[in-house]
């Protein structure tokens, strides 16, 4: 990990019509970090990720990526620059096979040999996807589709991966597996911003964390410190 700030969000405001969903959020993610953003339903976490990745317009404030403002840039340009989101609900191509989905993740690339090597690397991370390589994505379980969505995002060779609720709706075993893989991907050098309802797992995995409440960041600290904070425990860990 270095001190280089890859992503810096300042005074971010995002609205849906008259509804202010994000009301002035400030946070940063440094190269090599795994940062978790936790908060209650409706706090504005998903909206924040969408604004950062160009999927939702920014009403006010700024987003800097590798030292330059990316405000107003489209999602597509940002993917090409390595800023990639895995959305909640996954969004795999259900009528395509697993291999085809992974190949779609590489369609901004033309380094054929390296694409093949990356598919093998992803099969190494997710052996389940290799076993089912020719199966249609739409016939897979929720956990398998989550793996596929993460695998497809990795095919874009992200510098910063933004994961929106990867453990949502999954069985406890699958939640374990997903967190194992998040740690793995982080261990391979990918910087990660993780949004999670599962606050205890997300903070345990994180270098640093932020708590979002009603569209603003209200607490920040090392993942382990937030995990042990009485206020966080009372509000988000059911104590």
Q: Under rule CB under 6 A, which residues in 175-204 are in contact with ligand ATP?
A: 197
> Residue 39 interacts with ligand ATP (CB under 6 A)?
yes
Count of residues touching ligand ATP (by CB under 6 A): 12
C-beta of 18 vs 172, nearer to ligand ATP: 18
> Residue 47 interacts with ligand ATP (CB under 6 A)?
yes
Instruction: State the nearest-atom distance from the C-beta of 172 to ligand ATP, in Å.
Output: 20
Spatial CA neighbour of 28 closest among 160, 183, 175: 160
> Residue 16 interacts with ligand ATP (CB under 6 A)?
yes
Q: Phi first, then psi: what are they for 170, rounded to 5°?
A: -100, 155
**Which single residue is written with the structure tokens 């205890």?**
200
Distance between start and end Cα atoms, the chain: 33
> Residue 166 interacts with ligand ATP (CB under 6 A)?
no
Instruction: State the nearest-atom distance from the C-beta of 238 to ligand ATP, in Å.
Output: 16
Q: How many angstroms separate the CA atoms of 232 and 167, rounded?
A: 20
Instruction: State the nearest-atom distance from the C-beta of 152 to ligand ATP, in Å.
Output: 21
Query: Is the Cα torsion angle 125, 76, 82, 38 positive or negative in sign?
Result: negative
Instruction: State the nearest-atom distance from the C-beta of 47 to ligand ATP, in Å.
Output: 3
> Residue 42 interacts with ligand ATP (CB under 6 A)?
yes
> Residue 45 interacts with ligand ATP (CB under 6 A)?
yes
C-beta of 97 vs 214, nearer to ligand ATP: 214
Instruction: State the nearest-atom distance from the C-beta of 30 to ligand ATP, in Å.
Output: 23
> What secondary structure letter does DSSP report for 207?
S
> What secondary structure letter does DSSP report for 136?
B
Angle subtended at Cα 77 by Cα 38 and Cα 167, rounded to the nearest 5 degrees: 30
C-beta of 123 vs 236, nearer to ligand ATP: 236
Contact 199, 8 (CB under 8 A): no
Spatial CA neighbour of 7 closest among 29, 31, 36, 25: 29
Residue ranges in contact with ligand ATP by CB under 6 A: 16, 19, 21, 39, 41-47, 197
């Amino acid at each position: 990990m270095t001190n280089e700030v890859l992503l810096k969000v300042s005074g971010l405001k995002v609205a849906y019509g008259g509804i202010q969903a994000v009301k002035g959020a400030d946070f940063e993610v440094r190269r090599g970090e795994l940062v978790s953003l936790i908060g209650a339903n409706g706090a504005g976490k998903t909206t924040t990720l969408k604004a950062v990745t160009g999927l939702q317009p920014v009403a006010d404030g700024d987003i800097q990526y590798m030292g330059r403002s990316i405000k107003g840039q489209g999602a597509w340009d940002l993917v090409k620059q390595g800023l990639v989101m895995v959305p909640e609900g996954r969004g795999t191509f259900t009528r395509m096979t697993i291999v085809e989905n992974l190949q779609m993740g590489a369609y901004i690339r033309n380094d054929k040999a390296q694409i093949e090597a990356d598919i093998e690397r992803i099969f190494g991370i997710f052996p389940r996807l290799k076993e089912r390589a020719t199966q249609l994505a739409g016939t897979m379980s929720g956990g398998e589709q989550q793996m596929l969505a993460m695998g497809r995002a990795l095919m874009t060779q992200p510098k910063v991966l933004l994961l929106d609720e990867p453990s949502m709706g999954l069985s406890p075993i699958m939640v374990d597996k997903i967190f194992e893989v998040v740690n793995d991907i982080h261990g391979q050098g990918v910087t990660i911003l993780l949004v999670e309802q599962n606050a205890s797992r997300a903070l345990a995995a994180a270098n640093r964390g932020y708590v979002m409440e009603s569209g603003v960041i209200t607490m920040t600290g090392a993942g382990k410190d937030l995990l042990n904070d009485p206020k966080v425990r009372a509000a988000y860990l059911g104590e």
